[in-house]
């Protein structure tokens, strides 16, 4: 009888081996996997100071859940392990007016489903229920901190997590479980060296210094998170970017050399996000309520809402549009939405000024 118990215990310990957990995660399609222990987060004081300085802009939600953000061990009672994963979304895809991460289906759903599958596999392997919770930008958890602690990469000067094998074009997800699994060593090396290409390339000068981003100046913030008008002095700098910005990642040598093709069907670009800047901007500006719901169902781009996308589209047409776009902009200028109307009017003036100069 005692021998049987020892055999069962040995089997359980074998099943809990980090290598097997990682193998299952890779089998589910993740590109990176690391394991660490939850606890106090090293960058939480910097995060608090960042919010205090106003760099979060309108993103008031970032201040919520401060206690869990400062200590990931408070995710739920009994949590003892964080399984951290990365999923590549295609840094080799051509640059375009829509940031690569947002061109297909919502990554939250793709990642959460796979993390839940991993959770169920753990329960089957152990033979008992396991308390767990998956996070993918869905709670007050500093996933980037946990990823570094789990050995997945270092903090680049543009604040993204950079992995030496695949660069930085990947999503981070975390599965918290009340299960003891041996942790990996943290990634303690800074491999950016003296390079400042990401800082120098930012069109809006959003980096206050290395690894310190003023989000209120970031094009991703201006075109996604901000619900108000894009400041007039920033509109020209938005250039041909309709939704989000990849510039600081595009120029990173680690991405230039190691970024990979997208292999997830769900992340393949939808028609509404396909084409040059003028084409995509015209598509977005022409959306009515019904076509917005149809074309962007399950898309990350819905986050900006219809009015935000119309604002962005008008801004881009103001930068790259032609006189052929004036009728579409004039129609938008007659909308009952004052913010969109103001951006459309600005765009018309810009196009006419360029035409007059020619």
On the CB side of 312, CA atoms within 13 Å amount to 33
Residue of 106, 117, 137, 265 marked catalytic: 137
Q: Could you identify the residue written with the tokens 């901190």?
A: 145
DSSP string, 198-238: HHHH-TT--EEETTEE-GGG-HHIIIII--SPPPHHHHHHH
φ/ψ bin of 248: left (φ > 0), alpha (ψ from -120 to 50), beta (otherwise):
alpha
Active site includes 240? no
Closest by CA position to 72, among listed 51, 50, 42: 42
- Contacts of residue 223, defined as CB under 8 A and 6 or more positions apart, other chains included, come to 230, 238, 241, 242, 243, 244, 245, 304, 308, 312
Packing angle between helix 326-333 and helix 338-357, nearest 10 degrees? 150
Three-state DSSP state, 106: coil
Instruction: State phi, psi for 91 to the nearest 5 degrees.
Output: -70, -10
d(CA 12, CA 15): 5
Contact 166, 31 (CB under 8 A): yes
- Active-site residue list: 137
């Amino acid at each position: 009888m005692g021998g049987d118990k020892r055999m069962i215990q040995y089997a359980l310990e074998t099943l809990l081996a980090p290598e097997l957990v990682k193998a299952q995660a890779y089998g589910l399609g993740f590109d990176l996997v690391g394991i660490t222990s939850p606890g106090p987060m090293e960058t939480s004081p910097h995060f608090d100071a960042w919010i205090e300085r106003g760099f979060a802009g309108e993103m008031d939600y970032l201040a919520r859940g401060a206690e869990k953000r400062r200590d990931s061990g408070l995710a739920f009672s009994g949590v003892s392990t964080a399984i951290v994963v990365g999923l590549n979304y295609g840094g080799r895809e051509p640059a375009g007016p829509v940031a690569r991460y947002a061109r297909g289906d919502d990554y939250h759903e793709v990642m959460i489903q796979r993390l839940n599958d991993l959770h169920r596999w753990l329960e089957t392997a152990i033979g008992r229920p396991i308390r767990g919770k998956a996070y993918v930008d869905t709670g007050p958890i500093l996933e980037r901190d946990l990823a570094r602690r789990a050995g997945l990469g270092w903090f680049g000067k543009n604040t993204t997590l950079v992995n030496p094998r695949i660069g930085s074009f990947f999503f981070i997800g975390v599965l918290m479980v009340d299960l003891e699994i041996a942790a990996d060593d943290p990634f303690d090396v800074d491999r950016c060296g003296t390079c400042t290409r990401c800082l120098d390339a930012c069109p809006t000068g959003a980096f206050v210094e290395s690894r310190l981003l003023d989000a209120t100046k970031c094009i991703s913030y201006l075109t996604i998170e901000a619900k108000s008008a894009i400041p007039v002095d920033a509109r020209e700098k938005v250039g041909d970017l309709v939704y989000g910005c990849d510039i600081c990642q595009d120029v990173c040598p680690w991405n230039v050399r190691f970024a990979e093709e997208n292999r997830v069907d769900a992340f393949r670009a939808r028609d509404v996000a396909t084409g040059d800047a003028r084409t995509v901007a015209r598509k977005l500006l022409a959306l009515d309520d019904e076509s917005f719901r149809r074309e962007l169902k399950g898309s990350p781009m819905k986050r900006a809402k219809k009015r935000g996308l119309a604002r962005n589209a008008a801004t881009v047409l103001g930068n790259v549009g032609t006189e052929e776009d004036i009728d579409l902009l004039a129609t938008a200028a007659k909308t009952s939405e004052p913010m969109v109307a103001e951006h459309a009017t600005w765009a018309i003036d810009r196009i006419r000024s360029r035409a007059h100069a020619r």
